[in-house]
Chains A and B, each alone.
Chain A
Amino acid sequence: MSTHEGDLHVGHQFEDAEQQLDSYSAGMWLFLVTEVLFFGGLFLAYIIYRTRYTEAFVAAHHELDWQLGGLNTVILITSSLTMALGVRAAVLNRMKAVLGWLGLTFLCAGGFMVVKYIEYSAKFEHNLFPGPNFEFHHAGIDPGQAQMFFNLYFAMTGLHGAHVLIGMITMIILVIRLWVMRKQRIDFIPIELTGLYWHFVDLVWIFLFPLFYLVGGN
Chain B
Amino acid sequence: MSFEPAKPKVYLLTFAALLVLTVITVLAAKLTLPKIPMGILILDLNIVLAMAIACVKASLVVLYFMHFKDMGQVSKVWAVAGVFFLLVMFFMTLGDYENRPSEETVGWTESGPLHDARP
Check A-B contact in the complex, CB < 8 A: yes
**Residues of B contacting A73 with CB < 8 Å?**
22
The answer on a CB contact under 8 Å between B75 and A25 is: yes
A83 to B30, CA, bound (A): 32
The answer on a CB contact under 8 Å between A51 and B11 is: no
A86 to B4, CA, bound (A): 14
Interface string of B1-36 (1 = CB under 8 A from A): 111111010011011001100100110111111010
A201 to chain B, nearest CB (A): 10
**Residues of B contacting A210 with CB < 8 Å?**
25, 29, 47, 50-51, 53-54
Interface string of B35-61 (1 = CB under 8 A from A): 100001111111100110110011001
A75 to chain B, nearest CB (A): 11
Tell yes or no: A217 within 8 A of B by CB: yes
**Given A26-B74, A29-B79, A48-B97, are A80 and B31 neighbors across the interface (CB < 8 Å)?**
no
**Residues of A contacting B12 with CB < 8 Å?**
81
A87 to B62, CA, bound (A): 15
The answer on a CB contact under 8 Å between B22 and A70 is: yes
Residue of B nearest to A45 (CB): B93
The answer on a CB contact under 8 Å between A5 and B2 is: yes
The answer on a CB contact under 8 Å between A22 and B72 is: yes
Tell yes or no: B85 within 8 A of A by CB: yes
Instruction: Tell me the total A-B contact number using a CB cutoff of 8 A.
Output: 160
**Given A18-B1, A26-B75, A88-B11, are A37 and B82 neighbors across the interface (CB < 8 Å)?**
yes
Of the four ranges (under 10, 10 to 19, 20 to 34, 35 or more), the interface on chain B belongs to 35 or more
The answer on a CB contact under 8 Å between B28 and A29 is: no
Tell yes or no: B89 within 8 A of A by CB: yes
Residue of B nearest to A36 (CB): B82
Q: Which residues of A contact B (CB under 8 A)?
A: 1-2, 5, 18, 21-22, 25-26, 29-30, 32-34, 36-37, 40-41, 43-44, 47-48, 50-52, 54, 66, 70, 73-74, 77-78, 80-81, 83-85, 87-88, 91-92, 195-196, 199-200, 202-203, 206-207, 209-211, 214-218
Known contacts A1-B2, A199-B61, A210-B54, then 5 further A-B pairs from the complex at CB < 8 Å, ordered by chain A residue:
A26-B78, A84-B65, A85-B11, A216-B47, A217-B44
28 A-B pairs in the complex with CB atoms less than 8 angstroms apart: A21-B1, A25-B1, A29-B74, A36-B83, A37-B82, A37-B85, A44-B90, A44-B93, A47-B90, A52-B41, A54-B35, A70-B26, A77-B18, A81-B11, A88-B5, A196-B66, A202-B61, A203-B62, A206-B58, A206-B61, A210-B47, A210-B51, A214-B25, A214-B28, A216-B31, A216-B46, A217-B31, A217-B44
Q: Which 7 A-B pairs have the closest CB atoms?
A: A33-B82, A214-B29, A29-B75, A210-B50, A216-B46, A216-B29, A88-B5
